[in-house]
Amino acid sequence: MNYLNLDAKKTEKTVEEFNTLLADYHLYYQKIRNFHWNVMGHNFFDLHEKFEEMYEDAKIKVDEIAERILTLRYQPTSNYSDYLKMSNLKESPSELKDIEMVGILLDDHGKLLVQMKKVVDAADAAGDEGSIDLVGAYIRELEKTSWMLDAWRQRTTATHKEID
């Protein structure tokens, strides 16, 4: 792997953690699509649009993660059955209230952030600044999205209490 000036043996752990993140992002992407299609109620327009924005972002990240694995000269995991086994995330039902959907996504964000930290730690041990830079940007973006969803959830919860 001389064109990157990285030790192939040292990048194995980074790739392993990237493949888990890739599995996580595939499940996350599909979950957001599910929620986008099935959200209902007075928050439909806000969440339908937000979920679309989120799954489009996740789709890009899936490709970038796979391409980073290829850049490191490894093969990305590419079977959905493997993703289901590897992922830290679980599938969700379609028949959920909007606030439940947001809560599930926030839980998933926590799991994604933990996995991203594992990638960063492995990449740091391998001296892989490119992977650290890529995932660092993902962390920053996901934290901001989490903040926004949590603010929406707090407002919605407060509004529901006022109605009751």
Where are the domains positioned within the chain?
8-163
φ and ψ at residue 94, rounded to 5 degrees: -90, -25
Summarised one tens digit per residue, pLDDT across range 60-115 is 999 999 999 999 999 999 999 999 999 999 999 999 999 999 999 999 999 999 99
Dihedral of alpha carbons 89, 105, 158, 151, sign: positive
Cβ 156 vs Cβ 99: under 8 Å:
yes
The Cα 148–Cα 8 span in angstroms is 39
Report the residue count for the chain.
Answer: 164
**CATH for 8-163?**
1.20.1260.10
Token reading at 116: 């991203």
Instruction: Label residue 164 by pLDDT band (50, 70, 90).
Output: very low
Burial class (CB in 10 A: 0-12, 13-18, 19+), 153: middle
Q: What percent of the chain has pLDDT over 90?
A: 90
